Amino acid sequence: MSAEAARGSRPPVVEMRAVSKDYRLGKATVAALRDVDLEVRPGDFTVLAGPSGSGKTTLLNLAGLIDEPTDGAVRFDGEDTVRCGAGRLSGLRRDRIGFIFQMFNLVPVLSLFENVEYPLILAGCPRAERRRRVRDALSKVGLGDRFRHRPSELSGGERQRAAIARAVVKAPALVLADEPTANLDSANGAAVLGLMERLNREDGVTFLFSSHDPRIIAAGRRVVRLRDGRVESVEDGGGRP
Ligand SMILES: Nc1ncnc2c1ncn2[C@@H]1O[C@H](COP(=O)(O)OP(=O)(O)OP(=O)(O)O)[C@@H](O)[C@H]1O
Ligand SMILES: [Mg+2]
């Protein structure tokens, strides 16, 4: 499905209303997010920008149902997650959300194939279908000839592409990425970004990711700028047409 077709009239994948997040450190309270409204729609390609400490990771953790807000509402696919129990939240994370990390976070003792297969095993996907989907995901990221390699036998750019394959293999409703290009040189960073764009355009994969890099930020179709835990601006229509 194209990104355009994926958007349409379906409810937002993530909807945050008046969300605040405080962290308590001893007697001090850090207001990491204040009164944030955010919508992520199916097919979006949204980048979170903002200086260090502005709340990007905190916001991604809330969107990924890894953490819960101090105040406000977080809906996932229309479901009020503040009312969900821990079992339901972990089910949503397992089945509906893909994560890409700055440090790649591949399992070192597993082959590339096994790393990408792992989320499908957790999801109870049958073996023959797993093989097909893992092969498909790895060839999509240009690693179709690296199945047996361990992560340590891959370059940084290849590791991040493998992590992208792992994030998209279960066809999640949302892929979250916290500074996915921060540990890559500019050529590999551009390749990873190009791959994310292609998955968005061709397969309708919905991305919400953060970056410090002005070139990466410029590619976001929607740019949400955070400052001191608040949404400073939302720019639509940037990036490619
Ligand atoms: N677990 C925590 N305990 C206490 N304070 C925290 C915690 N996590 C984050 N913070 C604080 O919340 C604020 C937002 O942090 P966050 O990690 O979301 O920023 P960021 O925009 O991702 O920054 P960076 O670009 O450096 O990754 C910061 O002031 C940070 O110090
Ligand atoms: Mg961060």
- The whole-number average pLDDT for the span 161-167 is 96
From the CA of 56, how far away is ligand 2's center (Å)?
Answer: 5
Nearest ligand, measured from the Cα of 56: 1
Alpha carbon separation from 222 to 5, 94, 107, 197, 207 (Å, rounded): 17, 26, 32, 13, 10
Answer with the residue of higher pLDDT: 216 or 166: 166
Residue 1 has pLDDT above 90, yes or no: no
pLDDT band for position 164 (cuts 50, 70, 90): very high
| Mutate-to-test residue for ligand 1 from 48, 52, 58, highest number of ligand atoms within 8 A of CB | 58
Q: What is the pLDDT of residues 107-146, one digit of tens each?
A: 999 999 999 999 999 999 999 999 999 999 999 999 999 9
pLDDT of residue 9: 66
Judge if the beta carbon of residue 50 lies within 6 A of ligand 1.
yes
pLDDT band for position 241 (cuts 50, 70, 90): very low
Judge if the beta carbon of residue 206 lies within 6 A of ligand 1.
no
Residue 240 has pLDDT above 80, yes or no: no
Q: Where are the domains of the chain?
A: 3-10+42-69+86-236
Assign domain 3-10+42-69+86-236 one CATH number from 3.40.50.150, 1.20.1440.230, 3.40.50.720, 3.40.50.300: 3.40.50.300
Name the average pLDDT for the chain.
Answer: 93
pTM exceeding 0.85: yes
171 torsion bin: left (phi>0), alpha (psi -120 to 50), beta (else): left
Instruction: Name the burial class of residue 241, with classes exposed (0-12), middle (13-18) and buried (19+) by CB atoms within 10 angstroms of its CB.
Output: exposed
Q: What is the pLDDT of residues 37-65, one digit of tens each?
A: 999 999 999 999 999 999 999 999 999 99
Q: What is the pLDDT of residues 15-42, one digit of tens each?
A: 999 999 999 989 999 999 999 999 999 9
CB atoms within 10 A of CB 37: 13
